[in-house]
A and B are shown apart, each in its own frame.
Chain A
Amino acid sequence: MDFSLSEEQTIFRDSVARFVAEEYPFDRRQALVAEEPGYDGAHWRRFAELGWLAATLPEDYGGLGGTPVEGMLLAEQFGRGLVMSPYLATVVLGANAILHGGSEDQKRTLLPQVAEGRLKLAFAFAEPQSRYDLNDVATTARGEKSGYRIDGHKGVVFHAASADRIVVSARTAGDSRDPDGISLFLVDAKAEGLEARHYPTQDGGRASELRFDGVRVGAEDRLGEPGTEGSALPVIERVIDHAIASVCAEATGAMWAVYEQTLTYLKTREQFGRTLGSFQALQHRMVDVYMKCELAQSMVYEVTLHLDVPDAVVRGRAAASAKYEVGRNARDVGQEGVQLHGGIGMTFDLPIGHYLKRITMINSSFGDPRHQLRRYQHLSS
């Protein structure tokens, strides 16, 4: 058992931390998220140059062959700095969908483009009625002579406005909640019949409602080797577990930032002639915040170190337990950060409330804590 980082991993983490500190100070962040597309294209090119987009992708497909630990380190630092970018949508969701669901040919063609920063992706898997159930897919893909015709409504698709191509889940067979009969398709963002309504999210991110009205794709645009039609649910689950690992790490980075900023505030702000941090009632609440950060950090390791295990149940249990524990603790830490700051914690100009917003949006992505509790029970029974 060893929970230390290797030297390379430490250097990697420090280089991300340096970027966040130097290139992404809070006022710059606020300016970026206030305008379209919600991030700096120059930053995205830097991510590519520094090898961050390639970090977790296999070497065979233009990646650097890193482990999930590199993805964790990157997301933690993004969380600390509230970095908003299409990283989650493109690399964690989109590229993993191709990596785990695509044919050899699709992987060889598309993944190097992601690694080089030339291809942005989005993953359209949720629908207005599906809530967090990944098998609840009403969007249909009907086979036609030379391909498929896609009809349906995909909801809250992260960073679809920036995407060149969108990975879409659609039903090629079965009823709307059947685990079987779901397939994944690569759809051009500018495809005819695809109508998008783009909007910002509470945390300064970007998402879209996508309506597919007779969107036509070729047979070669279905992800996977020939003969795999209708068997994409395990792929989707795997991709979402990757996303869970990523947002858990991001939330934990945000939690540590809340912890540090709140601690600094308690040590400097004076009332009744003494620092707030000298009041035992506040000290104990701050210790609770600290402990919740440590517990969340542990669960980030839990999901990260189980991401590549072959047994999907073991992986799923790790992901569910992490998303539950991180989510619950992150909510508490986010709320306490605001409360312990007092009135100033409510202001738009201070980062503290923006951490709570990001944490809250993370909680309602990929299954909220209650959903994950049920999922854990289901996978354990």
Chain B
Amino acid sequence: MEIAYRPESEALREEIRAFCRDEVPEEFKRAVRHEGEIEGEDSRRWLRMLYEKGGWSAPGWSRELGGPGWTYEQQYVFERELALNDAPRVPLFGAGMIGPAIIEFGSRALQEQFLPAILKGEILWCQGYSEPNSGSDLASLQTSAVRDGDHYVLNGTKMWTSDGHHADWMFGLFRTDNSGKKQHGITVLLVDMRTPGIELRPILTFDGGHETNQTFFDDVRVPVGNRLGEEHLGWTVAKYILGLERFGTAEVSRSQSSLARLKRIARDQPSSGGRLVDDEDFADAITEVELELRALELTEQRFLFGPGGPDAMGAEASMLKIRGTEVQQRITELTAEALGYYSQPFVPEQLAEGYNEEPVGPTPAGYAARSYFNMRKTSIYSGSNEIQKNIIAKAVLGL
């Protein structure tokens, strides 16, 4: 047993830290410090920067594929140091999800078309999975793809198309056959978002943000060559993609950064004539979540670096998602609570660079409550926490 990192991981850690300090643009770090994310053109720029560092845009890829060829532990350290040093996340949809699926299931033509572009960060992706009537019960999806010569013709609608308004391509699940079991008859298609017949309607979340959309397909023609894997057998591809989420599902390092910000706020906030951090109940709440986070961190490390390594991890990963989101939600809730009255002003503009007016309340007033509201999504998306418990009950407990 060894709790320390290996030397090659330590070396990488120093390199990532220096990169975050010297090269990551200040406006990116600023967004992260305000519990925000970069998007659109900034994401492209970010991916390009990472690519030029030596394939960091695709941290899990081998050298042959143009990636950095890192060990699992190095990949873990990479994600961790980005988070701890206020750098943005590496967009997952491309190199983390659809890229490996194209490597595993894609034709030579698809591989040549997409892999170099994914590596260089030239394509932003969105995911076409959920539908208005297919949420937790994903396999019941009904957006249809009907074969017409060399094309599939798509009709129907997809829900929760996150980042769809920035995306160039969608990888989606479509119904090609309704005659058998619901998992059968699903096909994965790669869809150019500029294809005629696609309409995107923004879905605003109650925190006021626009991250996600509803996508409508009206006789959208997709070449048969854009099919990934066998016709009707797309569920296999979807499950493969799901199984790739090994690193970072718990968002431990992001939460550690958020916790550090919460502690600073609690030290700065006045309360009962002293400081909020001197309030025993509030201090206890912070310590409790800190220790829960440490237990989660070690659990993630144990699952990743136990016997058999990350490849041996199965449905236990669901636990990381459940606990990770619970901790995230608790920290953002406490952050809003810490501000008292100043969690109330809705002044996101005061976070922007070059904001010239006097800010309302302390700076975090610009994001705290909003982030708390926004984080309510985490226990619902990517398979709600209730679905994750179903998975554990079945696959780990055998119930």
- A interface list, Cβ under 8 A from B: 1-6, 69, 263, 266-267, 277-278, 280, 283-284, 286-288, 290-291, 294-299, 301-302, 305-306, 321, 324-325, 373, 376-377, 380
Contact = CB atoms under 8 A, between A and B. Distances in A.
A284 B386 contact: yes
Given A1-B5, A287-B393, A298-B298, A266 B399 contact: yes
Where chain B touches its partner, the secondary structure class is: helix
A287 B73 contact: no
B4 interface: yes
A14 to B, nearest CB: 15
B42 interface: no
Given A278-B399, A305-B3, A325-B295, A284 B301 contact: no
B292 interface: yes
Q: In the A-B complex, list the 4 residue pairs whose CB atoms are closest, starting with the nearest.
A: A298-B298, A283-B393, A277-B399, A295-B295
B287 A376 contact: yes
Contacts of A377: 283-284, 287
Contacts of A6: 1
Contacts of A266: 399
B397 A299 contact: no
Contacts of B283: 377
A281 B342 CA distance: 39
B51 to A, nearest CB: 27
A237 B5 CA distance: 28
Interface string B288-330: 1001101110110110111100000000100100110000000
B6 interface: yes
B5 A298 contact: no
Contact of B294 (A280, A288, A302): A302
B323 A295 contact: yes
Given A283-B393, A302-B295, 20 more contacts: A1-B6, A1-B301, A1-B304, A2-B305, A3-B1, A3-B301, A4-B306, A263-B398, A267-B398, A284-B386, A286-B393, A291-B392, A295-B323, A297-B299, A298-B299, A299-B298, A301-B302, A321-B291, A324-B291, A373-B291
B389 A287 contact: yes
A294 B315 CA distance: 13
Contact of B302 (A280, A291, A298): A298
Contacts of A325: 291-292, 294-295
Interface of B: 1-6, 9, 73, 283-284, 287-288, 291-292, 294-296, 298-299, 301-302, 304-307, 316, 319, 322-323, 386, 389-390, 392-393, 396-399
Contacts of B323: 291, 295
Given A299-B295, A301-B3, A3 B306 contact: yes
A126 B64 CA distance: 63
Contact of B1 (A5, A267, A290): A5
Contact of A1 (B2, B288, B389, B392): B2
B397 A301 contact: no
Nearest to B385: A284
B284 A373 contact: yes
A196 B367 CA distance: 62
A3 B295 contact: no
A318 B322 CA distance: 24
A291 B306 contact: no
Contact of B399 (A5, A283, A321, A376): A283
B287 A1 contact: no
A321 B399 CA distance: 32
Nearest to B5: A1
Which of B1, B284, B393, B397 has the most chain A CB within a 10 Å cutoff? Answer: B1
Which of A3, A6, A283, A286 has the most chain B CB within a 10 Å cutoff? Answer: A3
A177 B62 CA distance: 61
Contacts of A277: 397, 399
B156 to A, nearest CB: 30
Contacts of A295: 292, 295-296, 299, 323
A301 B396 CA distance: 22
Contact of A4 (B1, B288, B291, B389): B1
Given A1-B4, A295-B295, A283 B389 contact: yes
Contacts of B299: 294-295, 297-298
A325 B327 CA distance: 14
A370 B4 CA distance: 29
Given A284-B386, A325-B292, A69 B1 contact: yes
B302 A290 contact: no
Contacts of B390: 280, 283
Contacts of B386: 284
A1 B294 contact: no
B389 A284 contact: yes
A316 to B, nearest CB: 14
B226 to A, nearest CB: 39
Contacts of B3: 1, 301, 305-306
